[in-house]
């Protein structure tokens, strides 16, 4: 599992920071959180093929989070994209997406399925996705990615038993008992459980009960922090979070690591924001465009 930050600025891009977009690579799937202007170029620079994207999770319909959609979809159409692109978002997403797609002529179309979500909206064999409404000046949702627990082979045990690589190990990983050289071998003795990872993404918003709910026990909490706490009044006016407020959520939710993003262009570097957050939460880092995190 790898997270790549494609854009970490707020409403305006800078020379160093693009509009909001975060790419999660998980096995054969690619999940894109938001799609600000220029996202497809950021994907190219990062060496990520746009056709890897299987789901796009839109948090809200401010331009700096969605204006990259038409260009990205056009590129997918010219790249023989043969999957159904699933786009999820808050209430109003279907109407706004339809209006956006009418604004441009597309020579090549891709199959797109648009779904407005709240609560758990995807429950696959390997992970689930949840969304909750959070408070901003337009309908906005945060997201929670929950990897399912999985079984991992106890290598020393299977080596001592002489069990070869192949289908039998797969059976054990699926939780089934096998027969090897006349003896029953249970999954419980041949494997151990690896707890799944949790990733939370809190975009433009102010702290709320649902923010804590989404962030609870997250291995990685990605949170907007447009301002430092010295500008809390401005943050409150525009319903944005300060870096200290993001850190308080991480602390209260028992998150393991906090990554700050969505920075106001007034900050030439992120030192003030990081130090502000570290007053209440130690394991914090400010994201940069093309920063990668492996989980």
Q: Would you please indicate which residues are annotated as catalytic (active-site) residues?
A: 64
For residue 229, the 8-state DSSP code is G
Measured distance between the N- and C-terminal CA atoms of the chain, rounded to whole angstroms = 5
Query: What separation in angstroms does the CA of 249 have from each of 222, 244, 274, 281?
Result: 11, 9, 15, 9
Strand 29-33 to strand 21-26: parallel, antiparallel, or no bridges (unpaired)?
antiparallel
Q: In whole angstroms, what separates CA 180 from the centre of its chain?
A: 42
Token pair for 275: 């130090």
State how far the Cα of 3 lies from the Cα of 152, in Å rounded to an integer.
23
> Cα–Cα distance between 261 and 278 in angstroms, integer?
15
Q: Could you give the CA distance from residue 96 to residue 273 in angstroms, rounded to a whole number?
A: 34
Helix (H) or strand (E) holding 273: helix 271-278
CA distance 208 to 236: 13
């Amino acid at each position: 599992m790898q997270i790549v930050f494609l854009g970490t600025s707020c409403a305006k891009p800078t020379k160093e920071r693009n509009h909001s977009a975060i790419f999660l690579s998980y096995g054969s799937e690619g999940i894109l959180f938001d799609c600000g202007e220029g996202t497809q170029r950021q994907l190219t620079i990062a060496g990520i093929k746009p056709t890897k994207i299987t789901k796009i999770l839109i948090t809200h319909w401010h331009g700096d989070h969605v204006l990259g959609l038409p260009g990205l979809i056009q590129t997918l159409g010219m790249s023989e994209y043969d999957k159904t692109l699933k786009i999820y978002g808050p209430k109003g997403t279907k109407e706004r997406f339809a209006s956006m797609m009418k604004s441009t002529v597309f020579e090549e179309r891709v199959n797109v399925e648009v779904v407005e979500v709240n609560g758990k909206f995807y429950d696959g064999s390997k992970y689930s996705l949840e969304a909750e409404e959070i408070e901003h000046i337009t309908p906005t949702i945060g997201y929670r990615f929950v990897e399912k627990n999985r079984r991992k082979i106890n290598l020393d045990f299977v080596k001592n038993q002489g069990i070869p690589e192949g289908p039998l190990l797969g059976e054990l990983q699926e939780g089934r008992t096998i027969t090897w050289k006349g003896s029953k071998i249970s999954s419980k003795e041949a494997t151990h459980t690896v707890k799944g990872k949790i990733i939370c993404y809190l975009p433009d918003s102010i702290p709320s009960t649902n923010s804590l709910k989404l962030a609870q026990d997250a291995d990685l909490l990605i949170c907007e922090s447009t301002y430092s706490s010295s500008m809390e009044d401005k943050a409150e006016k525009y319903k944005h979070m300060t870096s200290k407020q993001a850190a308080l959520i991480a602390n209260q939710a028992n998150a393991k690591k906090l990554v700050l993003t969505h920075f106001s262009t007034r900050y030439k570097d992120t030192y003030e924001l990081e130090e502000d957050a570290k007053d209440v939460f130690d394991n914090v880092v400010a994201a940069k465009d093309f920063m990668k995190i492996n989980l």
